[in-house]
Structure 1
């Protein structure tokens, strides 16, 4: 499996390590990819660069998938989904990881699960920014997942949107994107040919040939593009052009261990040999391609060509019966492909309904003025705090005086400003709450020492803000009470301890933090 170049530089300070991993798998050197990933992951973990570590893991997953080690690839995919949910990040990155997981599930034969992940990725991409390298990469992954499920129309549309979304820094990236697109077209054409849609297949082969020849004329070439072009020539009745490419590249690909390209060259060579009646040699090439196939969908392509060759070499009832049986199997799979389109629509609708329910739940648990969580959310979260987490309670000092002196409108603006500060200090799994009035709470995922630092930063930000921009003479300060959760402590006890510390801060003169 060959991938688009993945622009990983936004992901971490040591991104060059992960870039090397991805570069190797793009070139088809999958065993070397695993060795490079071992080194990159050890170094990035030691340096604390978790984002680059995840990117390297993604490259490892691609290599494992290409090598057919799908169970190992799925384990990494599920880890990445869990990490992304816990650590957060751009929506396009969420979608990419979901789509990559979908592809592995589909290749494992877990079609329902895979299509559910495809639907989730599509829903995220519907609301993600539609420009830039992250969206480009996510759409490429969605195309690969759709292609794995033989949802060629969706894969084609995803690749089109992928290419339109990105301003390519040079021809290398654009040619790589087009190359991935042409590989999709070639596979689609082979499947169309199997179900008797000969004219549609021929049109796709011609379109693929035109794009590949354009890039070759621009001086940008690759073994994969040459392999696909050789296949197109063989399918389009140009055996001499196909042989020229095969003779030059096939031995190199076998020697270099680039089996993805090699199996396409073997397929093309078998087609050329069959067209001249060299049945035995053609069967040898198709078997060689079959031996190098990793995924079931790849093996079917070569098995079909073997069956046609046998029927032509040994015409008779037996070989014809085998061919007809295989054609029935192919047509059943094609019908199943159409059923998957319906399954995907249903999965997408389920994802939409889940999102609508989540939105409704959030609205019911949100404070209308500030957008923070409300008392309902507080009650839901208080008993989920575990050892290692902390609760910070906050009151605005003399808030009644602010309302009486400046108006309730000014008071509402103050609460909104405080809410923004609290929200900006929340990490992915942390929650800010407004009880009502001038009372706030912050659920922190850290222990007391780090929580104390967060609280002091918030207090200083509020104290230092120029509140006179709202109304001249206005000042705002906060009193805070902090408690770290004890092992096995009930939520109510944690709240009581934080509340007691809050009153300590108030009695001590306000504008300060009291911690247990």
Structure 2
């Protein structure tokens, strides 16, 4: 039963990070309705303040809450929005992997298994090469575990959560408790599925592990309604009926009133199991039906249908009820076998991602300058005819570069080119492309208007001119000459280049170390 879970954690980053932190603290504790209200406030404030990073983190918290409340279509809108942002603005690998895994989970829960597994494979490929320490990696692994859990790939989910916890470095009990309680909930879900297919000993071992973790953190005073609800299921499953009923009586009315459907569903499950164990068949059926009404996913509905069938066999023994139960068992076993197909699908998706990455790497190598890592002449030729109206081309020459090579050595000249390339990269956002297309010649494709392009060019020129080049070679100085041209409507790339090149030579004839524009 893929239950909507204790939400996966992120580390909020941004100038007003406390706003997003409050959103995530609420959703970590399972207060999903309150999360949505806090997200409304955080997103309104961060939009006004222009803090896009904190705004994005708050949106992620909203997505977790919507998923937990069963509002999967709304959650998918946010997932696709965040995935689009990561495509446009590349971040740390672990952060990109997290967004992909979160999107995968929503897609899987909506029944789009193929699409979801492709996102899982992309997340796995990124995490294979991401630094394996720190909160980003921990959070991404938690998200990967939740996505795998949604596809009932329990072994992968458990391994991802274990690796995430091993990488954990924060002393904050809230984060560690949420991660361990999430893993405990995974074990309970896994155990219920194992019990349905007749693997009772394995199920019992997982329940015992879950109880140990749940009781530890609840005794520590962690405020987690979902953790209490999962513990109630464990107690009902292991015959600790009085404890299960006590937790249900304490929490279920509050969760129903607050609209916390995930917690309420688990509590109805625990209540039904406990009542059935005491022979109260009719009351047990009432609880299972109440849980069924709150079920969001197909596997959740199937679990309650299975429990209802088992109760019917006990209450009304006979061929008819037994036939219904046997039919359900066959269906459950068939779905369990589908897990093997999903493993194969995931391996195939991962292989496709590897091949795509290999092609991208080969293409990057073919369009990269070996010395500086910038784009090369081949990339320049590709880009020059794609400059849109309103974009600009900046051409850059190193002043008297031949003299630098002759007087200081070609090794020093290479270092100068590498330093200039580093400055260009530092001034390139995702919408700018830096090129070294020959010798000491560089180009920068800009999507800004001419006034802003002038500012960027002047900033680069001043940085190079003001650098202490004596650290590279005593007596060395380096300056740049630049030519800037703004693309005209319908102008061919060759004409744009010719205008920028003419201005570059204007700058050189005027004494070098300057920018020539219109």
TM range (shorter): over 0.9
Tell me by how many angstroms 1:102 deviates: 0.4
Matches within 5 A, 1:68-147: 68-147=70-149
SS in 2 for 1:440: strand
Give the Cα separation in 2 of the matches to 1:323 and 1:240. Answer: 28
Matches within 5 A, 1:80-479: 80-220=82-222, 222-479=224-481
Deviations 1:115-169 (A, max 9, x none): 0000001111111111122111111111111111011111101111111112232
Give the Cα separation in 1 of the matches to 2:84 and 2:8. Answer: 24
SS in 1 for 2:385: helix
Give the Cα separation in 2 of the matches to 1:504 and 1:190. Answer: 77
Relative distance call for 1:4 and 1:77 in structure 2 (3 A) is: closer
Matches within 5 A, 1:52-67: 52-67=54-69
Unaligned runs of 5+ in 2: none
Give the Cα separation in 2 of the matches to 1:44 and 1:217. Answer: 37
Of structures 1 and 2, the one with the larger relative CO (CA 8 A, separation 6+) is 2
Give the Cα separation in 1 of the matches to 2:101 and 2:329. Answer: 31
**CA contact 2:7–2:65 (8 Å) conserved in 1:** no
Tell me by how many angstroms 1:360 deviates: 0.8
Tell me by how many angstroms 1:78 deviates: 1.2
Q: Which moved more, 1:29-38 or 1:43-52?
A: 29-38
Deviations 1:313-340 (A, max 9, x none): 1122221121111111111111111110
Tell me by how many angstroms 1:26 deviates: 2.9
Give the Cα separation in 1 of the matches to 2:14 and 2:172. Answer: 23
Give the Cα separation in 2 of the matches to 1:118 and 1:62. Answer: 17
**CA contact 1:95–1:138 (8 Å) conserved in 2:** yes
Relative distance call for 1:3 and 1:503 in structure 2 (3 A) is: farther
Give the Cα separation in 2 of the matches to 1:368 and 1:257. Answer: 59
Unaligned runs of 5+ in 1: none
**CA contact 1:467–1:475 (8 Å) conserved in 2:** yes
Give the Cα separation in 1 of the matches to 2:494 and 2:323. Answer: 75
Q: Which moved more, 1:60-69 or 1:108-117?
A: 60-69
SS in 2 for 1:34: helix
Give the Cα separation in 2 of the matches to 1:61 and 1:399. Answer: 54
Tell me by how many angstroms 1:221 deviates: 5.1
Alpha-carbon RMSD across the aligned residues, in angstroms, is 1.7
Give the Cα separation in 1 of the matches to 2:423 and 2:108. Answer: 44
**CA contact 2:135–2:170 (8 Å) conserved in 1:** no
Give the Cα separation in 1 of the matches to 2:82 and 2:136. Answer: 16
Count of aligned residue pairs for this structure pair: 515
Relative distance call for 1:27 and 1:487 in structure 2 (3 A) is: farther
Deviations 1:172-206 (A, max 9, x none): 32211111110110000001111111111011001
Partner of 1:6: 9
Tell me by how many angstroms 1:411 deviates: 1.5
Relative distance call for 1:461 and 1:4 in structure 2 (3 A) is: same
Give the Cα separation in 1 of the matches to 2:489 and 2:68. Answer: 46
Give the Cα separation in 2 of the matches to 1:5 and 1:15. Answer: 17
**CA contact 2:98–2:139 (8 Å) conserved in 1:** yes
Deviations 1:350-401 (A, max 9, x none): 1111111111111111111111111001111112222342211001111112
Deviations 1:18-71 (A, max 9, x none): 223323333434344333333322221221111111112212222222232222
Tell me by how many angstroms 1:211 deviates: 1.4
